[in-house]
Amino acid sequence: MENVLEIRNLKKSFDGNGVLDGISLSVREGEVIVVVGPSGCGKSTLLRCVNGLEQPDGGEILLDGKPISAGNLVEVRRQIGMVFQSYDLFPHMDVLENLSLGPVKALKRPKAQVEEEARQALRRVGLEDKLHALPRQLSGGQKQRVALVRAMMMHPRMLLLDEITAALDPEMVREVLNVVLDLARDGMTMLIVTHEMRFAEAVADRVLFLENGNIVEEGKPADFFHHPTTERARQFLDTFEFTSVKKP
């Protein structure tokens, strides 16, 4: 299968602190890659470099074999959807306007056609009644579902999801992740950063463990989560486990 995304020796530092220390990675069509690792390991920076929100210091990133540069950035962003941790819907637009803005203004698609598609997409995520709601009238989980639909409305080659459930109350996490699982089932290519380990295990084709700007371990989810090969990964995964303190 084709590589949708290819990252070669990517380097990035902020004020002399290396955040990405020569990362190489390729994502095949239809593949879901989950990146995990401790805070500050460079996961978010990796995603932000891919769609040009950060300028890499070295290395290169190719989308469908073409290098991403300042010159084709706007074009590239139209092909890569991104959803962030915080609710970044546009607060002055209702849900329909949020969904239509990109396709109509960036892709110049006919408005009526886009709106019809938006209606159907909302129906699939169970929000058909929120067509004309303003973002502030939605719950956190609803906002993130709309944000996912908004990214998908661009018909992207792939999606970047940057800790999209990190700011949500626990009972809302599920409804958002269900949408992502649906997308994975439909064969969407995705690069996902998350702290939800059970979800990662369910959705991923491959898991990358990132620490200090390096890929420390890489593998299939069943192997990584149950038989990590590195000590660092084992320690990291242990932080999600608890043993009972009650005597039997």
Partner 1 sequence: MRDLAVLFKGNNLQRLLGGLGVTLELSLVSVALSVALGLLAGVLMTLKNPVIRAAMRLWLETVRIVPQLVLLFLVYFGMAKAFNLQLSGEAAAVIVFTFWGAGEMGDLVRGAITSIPVHQRESSAALGLTRGQTWRYVLLPQAARRLIPQAINLATRMIKTTSLVMLIGVVEVLKVGSQIIDAARYDAPQGAVWVYGAVFFLYFFACWPISLAAGWLEKRWA
Residues in contact with partner 1 by the rule CB under 8 A: 51-53, 74-75, 77-82, 84, 86, 88-92, 101-102, 105-107, 150-151, 154
* Cβ at position 105, least distance to partner 1 in Å: 5
Which residue, 75 or 116, has its beta carbon nearer to partner 1? 75
Which residue, 92 or 226, has its beta carbon nearer to partner 1? 92
* Cβ at position 72, least distance to partner 1 in Å: 11
* Cβ at position 211, least distance to partner 1 in Å: 26
Other residues' Cβ atoms within 10 Å of the Cβ of residue 220: 12
* Cβ at position 76, least distance to partner 1 in Å: 8
Which residue, 151 or 203, has its beta carbon nearer to partner 1? 151
DSSP-assigned letter for residue 99:
H
Q: Are 33 and 23 in contact (CB under 8 A)?
A: no
Which residue, 156 or 221, has its beta carbon nearer to partner 1? 156
Angstrom distance (rounded) from CA 109 to CA 118: 13
Angstrom distance (rounded) from CA 114 to CA 92: 19
Other residues' Cβ atoms within 10 Å of the Cβ of residue 19: 20
Which residue, 53 or 166, has its beta carbon nearer to partner 1? 53
End-to-end, the C-alpha distance of the chain in Å comes to 52
State residue 130 phi and psi, 5-degree precision.
-105, 15
* Cβ at position 187, least distance to partner 1 in Å: 22
Position 124, amino acid = R
Which residue, 74 or 222, has its beta carbon nearer to partner 1? 74
Q: In 125-213, which ranges are continuous DSSP H helix?
A: 140-152, 170-185, 197-203
* Cβ at position 144, least distance to partner 1 in Å: 12
Angstrom distance (rounded) from CA 246 to CA 47: 42
Angstrom distance (rounded) from CA 114 to CA 108: 10
Which residue, 11 or 78, has its beta carbon nearer to partner 1? 78
Give the SS3 label for residue 109.
Answer: coil
* Cβ at position 53, least distance to partner 1 in Å: 6
Maximum separation of any 2 CA atoms in the chain, in Å = 66
Angstrom distance (rounded) from CA 98 to CA 165: 20
